[in-house]
Amino acid sequence: GRVRERKTVQVNVPAGCDSGMRIRMAGMGDVPVEGEGPAGDLYVRLRVLPSEVFKRKGADTYCSANVPFTTAILGGSVRVPTVDGDVEVKIKPGTQPGEELRLRGKGIRKVNSSARGDQYLSLRVRLPTQMSDRQRQLIEQFAEEDGSKDGAVKDDGAKDDGTSKESSNKENSKKDTGFFSRIKKDIEENFGKKKHKDDDKK
């Protein structure tokens, strides 16, 4: 006669597998209860646990990244996670909240292929919740120069054929860059002092 028993087998999971996919393991199934014959096959259905960082659609991955508001305005770079580890991503000046970047080839490898999906990065501009008096003064100064202190919004799309407008815009751009550079430096200095104090307390 035959005796039923359970045993544990090692399953090789190829890169890029997703929930619902099945892996066939030839000859690892049951043998006939009566009579002679080869063992059947074992089919393993996969269930992929969700990630705390990424969302997945096929071979593409999606995640969010926090960007300091000074970096969003002036440009710079931030480190973001990928399935292969953190990478440095360039942020263009004037980046808006909710903008999406596409990192080609940073997604998941496709099954039985060397091709990879892409990673889509949603940018969240991080605003400071606390500011020093100096930082508040600089922000108010910018609001006055920008004309947005009382809720007004400047029309950046206005057209003007005169060269004076273009020259003025370039000059204002230089002022704005210097203005936010001062804010960025002030915030970094204050953050460094706060961190130093916290380290001293420890």
Q: Dump pLDDT digits (tens) for 32-90.
A: 877 778 889 999 999 999 999 999 999 999 999 999 999 999 999 999 999 999 999 99
pLDDT classification of 188: cutoffs 50, 70, 90: low
Residue 160 has pLDDT above 80, yes or no: no
pLDDT of 47:
93
pLDDT the model gives residue 190: 60
How high is the pLDDT of residue 34? Answer: 74
What is the pLDDT, as a whole number, of residue 177? Answer: 53
Sheet containing 119-126: give its strands across: 55-57, 60-68, 119-126, 100-103
Residues 73 and 127 sit within 8 Å (Cβ to Cβ): no
92, pLDDT greater than 90 = yes
Instruction: Calculate Rg over the CA atoms of the chain.
Output: 29
Gap between the Cα atoms of 154 and 196, Å rounded = 40
Q: Is the pTM of this model over 0.85?
A: no
- pLDDT greater than 60 at residue 103: yes
User: Mean pLDDT, the chain, as a whole number?
Assistant: 81
Percentage above 90 pLDDT, the chain: 49
Outline where DSSP puts E strands in 37-175: 42-45, 55-57, 60-68, 76-80, 87-91, 100-103, 119-126
Dist CA 107 CA 165 (whole Å): 45
- Of 20, 19, 38, 36, which Cα lies nearest the Cα of 28? 38
Degrees (nearest 5) of the Cα angle 183, 186, 191?
Answer: 125
Q: Enumerate the β-bridge partners of residue 63.
A: 121
**pLDDT value of residue 145:** 83
pLDDT band with cut points at 50, 70 and 90 for residue 165: very low
- The yes-or-no verdict on residue 195 having pLDDT over 60 is no
Q: 144 pLDDT exceeds 90?
A: no
- Summarize the confidence of residues 117-142 as an average pLDDT: 91
* The predicted structure's pLDDT at residue 29: 86
